[in-house]
């Protein structure tokens, strides 16, 4: 069994991608500005968020700094229990996602969101690479949970 610590460079690579894309968006697109890359489908919209997903719990940056630190420390402490490949991939993704948004909260005072989609006239609230890592990690954790329960 490989320890997830072996994958720390991947965590920092994903973190760097997240922070670089946020930096580019902050530099190239004014706050609340939108750039339609694929009109009526994919947009870059420069927003910031001091709350949770979809802007819930707005102005709760300090609370989410604490939650992020707690989750990061707990998952780091539990790293040895992530034995399967899907669990290890999920661990890499969730750790980098937590770090990406935590860096924003600590350095900027808010999270930068910018990836926006419109599907059949409905807009999905903008998100970022760190958010994507966290959501995909959840998928890997669910995949691992269902595949291990089948083997029983």
- Residue 91 makes CB contacts below 8 A (sequence gap 6+) with 4, 7, 75, 79, 82, 137
| Residue 65, token pair as written in the block | 């700094």
| Active-site residue flag, 131 | yes
Q: DSSP secondary structure string, 92-146? A: HHHHHHHHHHHHHHHHTSSEEEEEEEEETTEEEEEE-HHHHHHHHHHHHHHHHHH
Q: Of 18, 59, 104, 131, which is the active-site residue?
A: 131
Q: Of 18, 59, 104, 113, which is the active-site residue?
A: 113
Q: Are 48 and 125 in contact (CB under 8 A)?
A: no
**Cα 95 versus chain centre, distance:** 9
| Active-site residue flag, 113 | yes
The set of catalytic residues is: 113, 131
């Amino acid at each position: 069994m490989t320890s997830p610590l072996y994958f720390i460079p991947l965590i920092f690579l994903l973190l760097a991608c997240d922070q670089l894309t946020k930096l580019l968006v902050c530099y190239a697109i004014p706050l609340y500005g939108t750039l339609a890359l694929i009109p009526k489908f994919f947009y870059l919209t420069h927003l910031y968020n001091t709350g949770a997903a979809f802007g819930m719990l707005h102005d709760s940056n300090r609370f989410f700094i604490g939650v992020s630190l707690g989750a990061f420390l707990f998952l780091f402490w539990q790293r040895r229990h992530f034995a399967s490949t899907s669990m290890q991939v999920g661990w890499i993704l969730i750790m980098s996602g937590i770090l990406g948004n935590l860096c924003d909260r600590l350095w900027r005072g808010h999270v930068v969101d910018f990836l926006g989609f419109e599907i059949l006239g409905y807009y999905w609230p903008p998100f970022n690479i760190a958010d994507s890592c966290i959501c995909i990690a959840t998928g890997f954790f669910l995949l691992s949970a269902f595949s291990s329960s089948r083997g029983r």
